[in-house]
Amino acid sequence: MRQLIRAALFDLDGVVVFTDKYHYLGWKRLADEQGWAFDEQVNHLCRGIPRLASLQVILDHNRITLPAAEKDRLANVKNEYYKELLATITIADVCPGVLGFLDALARRDVPLGLCSSSKNAGAVLDALRLTKYFRTVVTGHDIQRAKPHPEIFLKGAAGLAVAPFFCVVFEDAESGVAAALCAGMHCVGVGTPALLPNAPATITDFSTIDLACLLASARPG
């Protein structure tokens, strides 16, 4: 069977590892200190977007306007809370089936890239000893335009020297799905169709993927 997929690109949060709870707790702590309303529904709107954009979602929800310098300060406060929480991360936070899937791709010599808007992505990979899987890592430090702009995935593909059409992206946020499709790549959503209505296909557990089918057609099964 002819191989269509020649490289795989992964978002980090909610795809390779569950850091969502740490982001939630970091934002919740900040929101409680500031007296802002913040819950799981608002937190969902913050998925897949950079820190300042997430803060803006929370401010808009609370109908609050702040100067840019204050927004920068508060975003940095949240990031310090998040980094404190990351000190407790363990292999138990890795998403279901992902380690076996990464190993299977490695055995097929499929190059992998990590593409996360998080500026803490490298630290998370190192803490969980996952860096070895990825030939290229693109983080928030490396891009000018956040998802849904395709820049991060195009840089990932370039780092692997693979044309976008031959890449499959694994994403858990609508902004990431949009970025992957805009880049001209195939995409598998990590989540349910209800949460990712624009993803061409979805999974909730990497162990359910038929690797031969994925590589031949960009469909997980």
Query: Would you call 13 a catalytic residue per the annotation?
Result: yes
Q: How many domains does the chain have?
A: 2
Q: What is the CATH number of the domain that holds 57?
A: 1.10.150.240
Any long-range contacts for 16-19 (C-beta under 8 Å, 24+ apart)?
16/94, 16/95, 16/98, 16/114, 16/130, 17/89, 17/93, 17/94, 17/95, 17/98, 17/124, 17/128, 17/130, 18/93, 18/94, 18/95, 19/86, 19/89, 19/93, 19/118, 19/124
Instruction: Tell whether 96 and 51 lie within a shared domain.
Output: no
Instruction: Tell whether 65 and 113 lie within a shared domain.
Output: no
- From the list 11, 103, 205, 210, the catalytic residue is 11
Instruction: Tell whether 46 and 127 lie within a shared domain.
Output: no
- From the list 13, 32, 72, 93, the catalytic residue is 13
Model pLDDT for residues 76-109, shown as the tens digit of each residue: 999 999 989 988 999 999 999 999 999 999 999 9
- One DSSP character per residue, 15-61 reads TTB--HHHHHHHHHHHHHHHT----HHHHHHTTTS-HHHHHHHHHHH
Confidence of residue 1 (pLDDT cuts 50, 70, 90): low
pLDDT at site 86:
86
| Listed ranges 19-28, 48-57, 182-191; the one with the highest mean pLDDT | 182-191
Q: Looking at 39, 56, 86, which one is the last position of a domain?
A: 86
| Domain of residue 80, residue span | 20-86
Q: Looking at 69, 86, 103, which one is the last position of a domain?
A: 86
Model pLDDT for residues 5-45, shown as the tens digit of each residue: 999 999 999 999 998 889 999 999 999 999 999 999 999 88
24 occurs within a structural domain? yes
Instruction: Tell whether 11 and 34 lie within a shared domain.
Output: no
pTM: 0.85
Instruction: Tell whether 62 and 99 lie within a shared domain.
Output: no
Q: Rounded mean pLDDT of the chain? A: 94
- What percentage of residues in the chain have a pLDDT greater than 70? 100
Q: What is the CATH number of the domain that holds 172?
A: 3.40.50.1000
